Chains A and B, each alone.
Chain A
Amino acid sequence: MAISNDYIKQKLVEKFSDQVSNFEEPYGMLTFEAPREMNLKVLNFLYDDEQLKFRFLTDLCAVHYPDNKGRELAVVYHLHNMVDNIRVRFKVFTDINRPDVYTATGLFSSANWMERETYDFFGVNFIGHPKLKRILNVDEMDYFPMRKEYPLEDQTRIDKDDEMFGR
């Protein structure tokens, strides 16, 4: 039986009642959020449920919303049920000063590097990760470059004198 977004939503609400919230369907993909300490419970439920079967982690990344006080960082999971070919997007928001989220590596081996990448660029601290260290950037880096407080260099700046590249 193919399952629909409404059915997934109903199952989630049945299980977690008002803990899952902000249901949306941008471009047809069911999107919802849960409190950050709930992320593993939700992921496990989506994985284990006989009807839902979201057993493929397509993507894991983070987004920084500096204006969202107290919930600046969003960790976004894209999950795929390959049998019924349906995807969901699941978000947890966390405080940038205490960006602790439980690791999904116990459930998905693929989460290992994706979480390291997310840590590398956004500083999300995945609790229980087997080896949370930088992956694409140099180990000595002491900031998280994808956060919005690090804008790209202003292309019109004139205070920099670089003979080599003529600007």
Chain B
Amino acid sequence: MPEHHIKLPEGSIEKTTTTLNLGPTHPATHGVFQNILELDGERIVSSEQTVGYIHRAFEKLAERRPLYQITTLTDRLNYCSSPINNMGWHLTCEKLLGVKTPKRVDYLRVIIMELSRISDHLICNSIVGVDAGAYTGFLYVMQYRELIYEIFEEVCGARLTTNIGRIGGFERNFNDIAFQKLEKFLKEYPKVLKEFENLFQRNRIFMERTIGTGAISADRALNYGFTGPNLRAAGVDYDVRVQTPYSSYEDFQFNIPVGTTGDNYDRWLVRSKEMWESLSIIEQAYRKVQEFKGKDADVYHADAPEYYLPPKEDVYTKMEALIYHFKIVMGETEIPAGEVYNSIEAANGELGFYLISDGGRTPYRLHFRRPCFIYYQAFEELTKGGMLSDAIMTMSSLNLIAGEMDA
């Protein structure tokens, strides 16, 4: 028995490990969740996760809302890439309602989704850098995330919680400024991304910190319900965009980058490569959008009058438009009864919406399949036996977003 300065009372059981509370408001957690770690020196013996600090009962709230009002709830899931969530929700509604969107809408959506994927991956990768002690990259790329947010702002008027698009398409057509900003981004960003990669990819310190830490095998990752970049880093090429293409993803050429070891370094590389692929998809989509000329270039929504708001002029002059306007705004449109599961490739993995409608005006039940929530439970296994400082890196490279986790 080791000697102590403190004399323990007779018969007391000696505890050789230290308990450490990491979070809920620790800066290294990048969000509100708690890890209770049991440490032996600097090594993690066991840990327990507590989530739910920002649970906002979205699933319950959704049971009282008409479909279009639920879009704002999806904003607040993964708030680093809310447009993807919005689109996923619109696609789910369209699947339930049987609305078919025009090609131009699909391509515009692809542009928006891939832009937000870049902004999400950019945050995640630069945060991994911050946790390894490299703050510069993070501050530098914020400038380019800003360019993305400016495009969102031009399209929908908001930056973070975007509420972008409507069931059937977009609320308005993209204006010229939006396309100019997109061009500016496409021109400037590749150089920056290259520079950002140079900063980390072959950086000795960064490699030493990330290689071999927080690793998971493909088998375990699948068993833990991993999807998205985290699963691909373990070597499984599962991507919803390819497996079940939505929003015309089948029209694009792109690769699915995969890793081998599923460690922090591979996750970083996969995200980094995915940004290049996203860039290429955006370029292809932008070219396709430009091919629409004349009247076709004005198409920005599907013909779904029961769910898509009519133009305001018509509301004042046409009775039919007035009726639709009233019914949509007051949420008095009955949705067809049905049961639908629709999933999209969000920045963190497969974001699923399980929607049950009993024929009323609001969903009977709506369940979000949040990738974060599902893969965070692997955190204990990923960090067990490792160093505390590696656990911090693992946490950020998994890209845990509290909003998505707690719904």
Assess whether A27 is in contact with B95, with CB atoms less than 8 Å apart: yes
Cβ contacts A125-167/B at 8 Å (1 or 0 each): 0000000001111100000011000001000000000000000
Assess whether A135 is in contact with B222, with CB atoms less than 8 Å apart: no
Distance in Å from the Cβ of A138 to the closest Cβ of chain B? 8
For window 373-396 of B, CB contacts with A under 8 Å fall at: 373-378
A55 CA to B220 CA, complexed, in Å: 12
Assess whether A108 is in contact with B365, with CB atoms less than 8 Å apart: no
Assess whether B365 is in contact with A63, with CB atoms less than 8 Å apart: yes
* Chain B residues touching A, majority SS: mixed
Q: Could you say which residues of chain A place their CB within 8 Å of the CB of B63?
A: 152
Given contacts A27-B340, A89-B341, contact A136 B406 (CB under 8 A): yes
- Give which listed residue, B52, B369, B376, contacts A59 with CB less than 8 A: B369
Distance in Å from the Cβ of A43 to the closest Cβ of chain B? 13
Interface assignment of B361: CB less than 8 Å from any CB of chain A:
no
A137 CA to B224 CA, complexed, in Å: 23
Interface assignment of A58: CB less than 8 Å from any CB of chain B:
yes
B59 and chain A: residue at smallest CB distance: A146
Given contacts A58-B350, A136-B406, A152-B60, contact A109 B378 (CB under 8 A): yes
Assess whether A27 is in contact with B354, with CB atoms less than 8 Å apart: no
Q: Could you say which residues of chain A place their CB within 8 Å of the CB of B343?
A: 58
Q: Which of A2-10, A11-19, A34-42, A110-118 binds B?
A: A110-118
Interface assignment of B61: CB less than 8 Å from any CB of chain A:
yes
Assess whether B222 is in contact with A56, with CB atoms less than 8 Å apart: yes
Interface assignment of A20: CB less than 8 Å from any CB of chain B:
no
Q: Could you say which residues of chain A place their CB within 8 Å of the CB of B1?
A: none
Interface assignment of B12: CB less than 8 Å from any CB of chain A:
no
Given contacts A26-B340, A61-B354, contact A110 B377 (CB under 8 A): yes
B339 and chain A: residue at smallest CB distance: A26
Q: Could you say which residues of chain B place their CB within 8 Å of the CB of A136?
A: 51-52, 55, 406-407
Assess whether B352 is in contact with A58, with CB atoms less than 8 Å apart: yes
Cβ contacts A81-93/B at 8 Å (1 or 0 each): 0100101010000
Assess whether A109 is in contact with B223, with CB atoms less than 8 Å apart: yes
- Give which listed residue, B52, B96, B356, contacts A135 with CB less than 8 A: B52
A152 CA to B62 CA, complexed, in Å: 10
- Give which listed residue, B59, B64, B225, B356, contacts A58 with CB less than 8 A: B225
Distance in Å from the Cβ of B401 to the closest Cβ of chain A? 15
Cβ contacts B357-375/A at 8 Å (1 or 0 each): 0000000110101000111
Distance in Å from the Cβ of B158 to the closest Cβ of chain A? 24
Interface assignment of B244: CB less than 8 Å from any CB of chain A:
yes
A63 CA to B60 CA, complexed, in Å: 12
Cβ contacts B140-162/A at 8 Å (1 or 0 each): 00000000000000000000000
A152 and chain B: residue at smallest CB distance: B64
A117 CA to B51 CA, complexed, in Å: 11
In addition to A27-B338, A110-B223, A136-B52, 7 A-B residue pairs with Cβ atoms within 8 Å of each other are A26-B339, A29-B341, A63-B364, A63-B365, A82-B238, A108-B223, A113-B377
List residues of A whose CB falls within 8 A of some B CB: 26-27, 29, 31, 55-59, 61, 63-64, 76, 78, 82, 85, 87, 89, 108-110, 112-114, 117, 121, 134-138, 145-146, 152
Closest 7 CB pairs of A and B: A110-B225, A136-B52, A61-B367, A136-B55, A59-B369, A113-B377, A26-B339
* Interface CB pairs A-B, < 8 A, 19: A26-B339, A26-B340, A27-B95, A27-B96, A29-B341, A57-B225, A63-B365, A82-B236, A82-B238, A89-B339, A109-B223, A109-B224, A109-B225, A109-B377, A113-B377, A114-B225, A135-B51, A135-B52, A137-B55
